[in-house]
Amino acid sequence: MKKSLLIIFTVSILLFSIGIVSEVGYSAEKVYAEKEAAKPSYKNRSEIPEQYKWKLEHIYPNQQEWEKDIKKAIELANKFAKYEGKLIKSQKMLKKAIDDYSNLMRVHDKAYVYAHMMLDANSSNAKLQDLADRADKMSVSVRENTSWLSPEIAELSKKKINTYLRDESLTDYNYFISNIIRKKSHTLSKNMEELLAQSSPLASTPKNIFEMLTKDIQFPVITDKDGKELELTRSNFFSYLENDNREVRKKAFQLYYETLKKYQDTFAQTLGGEVKGNNFYAKARKYESAMEGSLISNNVPTKVYDQLIETVNQHLPLMHRYMALKKKMLGVEELHMYDIYTPIVQVEQNYISFEEAKKRVIEGLKPLGEEYTSVLKKGFEEGWIDVYPTKDKRGGAYQWSSYDTHPYVLLNYEGTRDDVSTIAHELGHAMQSYYTNNNQPYISSGYPIFTAEVASTMNEQLLWHNEYNSAKTKQEKIYLLNQRLENFRTTLFRQTQFAEFEKMIHEKDQKGESLNAEALKKVYKSLNEKYYGPVMISDEEIAMEWARIPHFYSSFYVYQYATSFAASTALAKQVLEEGETAVSRIRNNFLSAGSSDDPISILKEAGVDMSTAAPIEETMTVFKETLDELEKLLSEE
């Protein structure tokens, strides 16, 4: 399966659980009743009007057609396995192998995506659960029957490869082939590659246990200031941290992490198992570390990771200054971790209808040109988006597609400002898929998370600029400035903190040190103190935060949110300042590029060089300017 296919799916589903899109919100207690009265509410999927549901019939008109592709994928996979050792003895045979692989994977992806999106919209449906299970089994069969291809290409001599690559018929496959050769020293024998492919379900065990454990944990009921009992859950935790009543958010914070602490040893064993697995696979493939294995396999130099941490650490005084401002605006004697999510300014938070949200997104993304917005309008009107939540619909938001379908976006729209931003974010993914699939052959149509999150966060940044320029009151400007600073905190600073934690615990395991609960808590709390600075009371409970972060079960993943945020900040600025010149460069060299080259080179062609610390430095300058502007507006009051 194309790597980007799963990456975009997984990343987007989990965005809200770690608070990437935005962790700033509103007082749930104050506006909840008004919002509930205004927004549509649907008990089940059949009640939702058709214009608000995605049209999966664009993929298959009925299940019978899907059945044909499931059967076809398995047949093609079995046939492909029979070519092992025979297909790449000449340039012509190599091309045939890649063409056959592409044709197989196009059928695979289409069938796999359809089954899982059907289930995501109706997760309690037993028949759809069976469809997804069958798609999973088909996928395992395909992986097992294609695992020989890369090792066999890697066995070709340098002379033969260079001869092949000079042939014009392989031009579209140059990067795909070169990338395999580049990883030759880390490619194992065919038997070992098959063994590792078969072990992939075992490698996902820690993640599966984490998901089941967090799903099964029951949190206590809390009591608000009026004595009303409120249920605390994983999904509503942040709404309580946003509450304008300090006792409510303090109580929610303490009870949440005290509950996690009861399971700290299980969480530690689970995360420790993930780390040990990552280090094992890295060692098996002869990488010096799991970080190197993760980054280099995606053709990203390890210095990008290290210089991100180093540069962000150098600018932590800016973060500390922001925390000091938060403390002042909240009017508290001590700033605690449970205080940082509550908004420092209140603005009217009326329900935003989905029709109004569409207008705001299209207006905000106008700087990307008429062609771009015309495709957005098509997506809104032609069944790309599944809008409203129901009880049996998967939570969160994501974009997913296959090469032979238009992009699809899953939302759980509730009518908040954050939800509008989420639409822009997921459509950034959708537009990158749209442009890539229309400009690249299958083999280079995927794209890694390193570039994927750039497109989505660039859209968010452009939307923010439009909202800020359209703000009618000083209060709204203060709110939007704080919202932007929160995006910096939660994406650039917070994800770098996560990245540094992940690096440290993998290094501890490599050295043979224990990753028990106390060791993990000590590392995490010390990092939290460093990132938030002396003004913050780093509450003991925060030492358990690592136990609720799902992205620690995706090896060396989160750093890309921070690098993407920096890259998108630079590109959004270029769009606003250069206009069509920048839009054309970004569309042709980035959005349409897929994996036709390494991600660093693709972004460099688009206008931002992530091989240097310059984009991080420039983003810190924007953070400082935003902080300056907020302080200036506040001083005028």
The pair of structure tokens assigned to 16 is 């809200």
Task: Give 146-184 pLDDT, tens digit per residue.
Answer: 988 988 888 888 888 888 888 888 999 999 998 888 888
Distance between CA atoms of 139 and 359, rounded to whole angstroms? 39
Residue 305: name the closest of 611, 623, 606 by CA: 611
Residue 21: name the closest of 428, 465, 419, 496 by CA: 419
- pLDDT for 26: 36
Higher pLDDT, 383 or 225: 383
Q: What is the mean pLDDT of residues 474-490?
A: 93
Give the side-chain half-sphere CA count within 13 A for 416: 18
Burial class (CB in 10 A: 0-12, 13-18, 19+), 472: exposed
Task: Give 247-289 pLDDT, tens digit per residue.
Answer: 999 999 999 999 999 999 999 999 999 999 999 989 988 899 9
Angle separating helix axes 449-470 and 474-487, nearest 10 degrees = 170
Angle separating helix axes 559-578 and 449-470, nearest 10 degrees = 50
Beta strands in 49-99 (DSSP E): none
Q: What is the mean pLDDT of residues 301-310?
A: 96
Distance between CA atoms of 612 and 421, rounded to whole angstroms? 29
Lowest mean pLDDT across 279-288, 310-319, 512-521, 572-581: 279-288
Residue 450: name the closest of 372, 560, 347 by CA: 560
pLDDT band of 190, cuts 50, 70, 90:
confident
- pLDDT for 150: 87
Q: Does position 27 have pLDDT exceeding 60, yes or no?
A: no
DSSP assigned state of 232:
-
- pLDDT for 556: 93
Pairing of strands 335-336, 536-537: parallel
Distance between CA atoms of 332 and 545, rounded to whole angstroms? 23
User: What residues contact 346, with CB distance under 8 A and at least 6 apart?
Assistant: 26, 27, 30, 244, 479
Provide the whole-model pTM.
0.85
- Residue 156 phi/psi, 5-degree rounding, is -65, 145
Q: Which residues of 132-145 are buried (b: 16+ CB within 10 A; e: fewer)?
A: beebeebbebbbeb
Task: Give 369-428 pLDDT, tens digit per residue.
Answer: 999 999 999 999 999 999 999 988 988 899 999 999 999 999 999 998 889 999 999 999
Higher pLDDT, 359 or 159: 359
Q: Does position 24 have pLDDT exceeding 70, yes or no?
A: no
Average pLDDT, the chain: 89
Residue with tokens 């939660």: 490
The pair of structure tokens assigned to 474 is 């000083």
CA angle 602, 603, 609 (to 5 degrees): 125
Q: Does position 534 have pLDDT exceeding 80, yes or no?
A: yes
Largest CA distance in the chain: 78
pLDDT band of 14, cuts 50, 70, 90:
very low
pLDDT band of 35, cuts 50, 70, 90:
low
Q: What percent of the chain has pLDDT over 90?
A: 68
CB 26 within 8 A of CB 244: no
- pLDDT for 345: 79
Distance between CA atoms of 587 and 132, rounded to whole angstroms? 35
DSSP structure string for 87-144: TTSSHHHHHHHHHHHHHHHHHHHHHHHHHHHHHHHSTT-HHHHHHHHHHHHHHHHHHH
Q: Domains in the chain and their CATH numbers?
A: 50-203 (1.20.140.70), 205-346+478-553 (1.10.1370.20), 349-476+563-635 (1.10.1370.20)
- Alpha carbon 457 to its chain centroid, in Å, reads 10
- pLDDT for 200: 76
Task: Give 79-106 pLDDT, tens digit per residue.
Answer: 998 888 887 778 888 999 999 999 999 9
- pLDDT for 275: 96
- Would you please indicate which residues are annotated as catalytic (active-site) residues? 426
The pair of structure tokens assigned to 231 is 């249920």
pLDDT band of 637, cuts 50, 70, 90:
low
**How far, CA to CA in Å, does 469 sit from each of 196, 205, 477, 582?**
53, 48, 9, 21
pLDDT band of 36, cuts 50, 70, 90:
low
- pLDDT for 20: 33
Residue with tokens 């769009």: 575
CA angle 371, 376, 377 (to 5 degrees): 100
- Residue 532 phi/psi, 5-degree rounding, is -95, -15
Give the SS3 label for residue 335. strand
Task: Give 586-613 pLDDT, tens digit per residue.
Answer: 999 999 999 999 999 999 999 999 999 9
pLDDT band of 37, cuts 50, 70, 90:
low
